[in-house]
Chains A and B, each alone.
Chain A
Amino acid sequence: MESTRTKQAKDRWNWLWEWANPVKFMALSGKALPWVIGLTVISLTVGLVWGFFFTPEAINFGSSVKIIYVHVPSAMMAINIWVMMLVASLIWLVRRHHVSALAAKAAALVGVVMTVIALITGAIWGEPMWGTYWAWDPRLTSFLVLFLFYLGYMALWAAIEDPDTAADLTSVLAIVGSVFALLSRYAVNFWNQGLHQGASLSLDKEENVADVYWQPLVICLAGFVLLFIALLLVRTRTEVRKRRIHALEMRERMADA
Chain B
Amino acid sequence: MIALLLRDLRLSVRAGGGFGLGLAFFLIVSVLVPFGVGPEAEILARIAPGILWVGALLACLLSLDRIFQLDFEDGSLDLLATAPVPMEGAVVMKALAHWLVTGLPLTLAAPLFGGLMSMAAPGHWWMFVTLLLGTPALSMIGAFGAALTVGLKRGGLLLSLLVLPLYVPTLIFGAEAATRGMAGLDATTPLLMVAGITAGSVALLPFAAAAALRINLR
Contact = CB atoms under 8 A, between A and B. Distances in A.
Q: Is A bound to B?
A: yes
Interface residues of B, number: 29
A8 to B, nearest CB: 33
B165 A187 contact: no
Contact of A172 (B141, B193, B212): B212
Interface stretch (B18-26, B124-132, B155-163): B155-163
Interface residues of A, number: 26
Interface string A167-183: 01100110111001101
Contacts of A165: 151, 215-216, 218
Interface stretch (A51-59, A146-154, A199-207, A209-217): A146-154
B148 A155 contact: no
B190 interface: yes
B169 interface: yes
B165 A175 contact: no
Contacts, number: 75
Interface in B120-179: 141, 144, 148-149, 151-152, 155, 158, 161-162, 164-166, 168-169, 172-173, 176
B172 A159 contact: no
Q: In this complex, which of A145, A159, A177 has the most chain B Cβ atoms within 10 angstroms of its Cβ? A: A159
Contact of B165 (A145, A160, A169, A190): A145
Q: Is the interface of A mostly helix, strand, loop or mixed?
A: helix
A26 interface: no
A35 interface: no
A187 B141 CA distance: 17
A187 B168 contact: yes
Interface of A: 145, 148-149, 151-152, 155-156, 159-160, 165, 168-169, 172-173, 175-177, 180-181, 183-184, 186-188, 190-191
Interface of B: 141, 144, 148-149, 151-152, 155, 158, 161-162, 164-166, 168-169, 172-173, 176, 189-190, 193, 197, 205, 208, 211-212, 215-216, 218
27 contacts: A145-B165, A145-B168, A148-B161, A148-B164, A148-B165, A149-B165, A152-B162, A155-B162, A156-B149, A156-B162, A160-B152, A165-B218, A168-B215, A169-B215, A173-B148, A175-B208, A176-B144, A176-B208, A180-B141, A180-B165, A180-B168, A183-B169, A187-B168, A187-B169, A187-B173, A187-B193, A191-B176
